[in-house]
Amino acid sequence: MHGYRFASVLVLSILFIFVDLRFAQVDLVRQSLSYVVSPVRSLVSLPGDVVQWSSETFSERNELLDSNRRARSQILVLQQKVQQLSVLEAENERLRRLLNATSRLDNDFITAELISVDPDPFSIQVIVNRGAQEGIYVGQSVVDADGLFGIVVQVDSLTSRIALVADVNFAVPVYVNRNGMRSVVVGTGDLDVLEMEYVTDTADIQIGDMLVTSGLGGRFPAGYPVAEVIAIEHDPGESFAHVRARPLAQLGQARSLLMVFQQQQEPESNE
């Protein structure tokens, strides 16, 4: 039975081959059949195409997610580098200004870095990283790039304590740069305000006048900026005017300082 079926299929195949070779009309039949077979072929291949498309889509999505994660990481790194660069630029600017300030000094000096602030609310003092090993002594004057910063009040082996010009126990002899009038500037406990003492009511003092160290007493370097006059008040019946000034030193911001050695002063002992 199977032999007859095989023989029949073989005969029909040979017959179709012969007809296909001898008659051109078979091409028309083949083309007609292709319109019917093509949709079936597309339908059969659809599951495979869907699987391939899904695989490619998810693969591209994962690649995009990885790329976004790498981009975000690179952005964070670049932002950190930009911040570090900004800090370095600001530090370099402060150091350049401090270097320019040395041209005002005829005395020897040593640089120092502020390392802490005294938490005592009744004093305005800071600690720097220079001490007796570098020859620092009590009474030594300290300046920053803009003006007189303070004076050394305590010395240890590796560190020193500095009272700022705004400290209530601080006083420095000054003169008005415009006319040479002498006076004394004292601290008020406020980083932004100093006061001038012994200014007569008729004294030639104006808002905007610069006050510089007079050098009297030999403790502070002469001619270094201290403050700028910001207010003058005259009280009837009072012999002296009430004069307020703004410190020129960056008392709340400066980190790099110059500690000035007075040539005529011998280092004092810590005692």
3-state SS of 19-34 is HHHHCCHHHHHHHHHH
The mean pLDDT of 138-162, rounded to a whole number, is 92
Query: When comparing pLDDT for 80 and 176, which is higher?
Result: 176
Residue 269 has pLDDT above 50, yes or no: no
| 248 — pLDDT class (breaks 50, 70, 90) | very high
How large a percentage of the chain has pLDDT more than 70?
66
Query: How large is the average pLDDT for residues 171-182?
Result: 91
Which residue did the predictor score with more confidence, 151 or 76? 151
Per-residue model confidence (pLDDT) at position 265? 44
- Average of per-residue pLDDT values in the chain: 79
Query: Per mean pLDDT, which of 1-10, 17-26, 189-198, 259-268 is the most reliable?
Result: 189-198
Predicted pLDDT at 157: 93
pLDDT of residue 63: 80
| Residue type at 252 in one-letter notation | G
In angstroms, rounded to a whole number, what is the distance separating the alpha carbons of residues 248 and 177?
A: 14
Q: Which residues contact 219 (CB under 8 A, 6 or more apart)?
A: 139, 141, 151, 262, 265
Residue 103 has pLDDT above 90, yes or no: no
Residue 78, pLDDT score: 74
Label residue 153 by pLDDT band (50, 70, 90): very high
β-pairing, 256-261 with 225-233?
unpaired
Q: Could you give the CA distance from residue 256 to residue 115 in angstroms, rounded to a whole number?
A: 10
Report pLDDT for 262: 77
Report the C-alpha gap between 113 and 136 in whole angstroms.
14
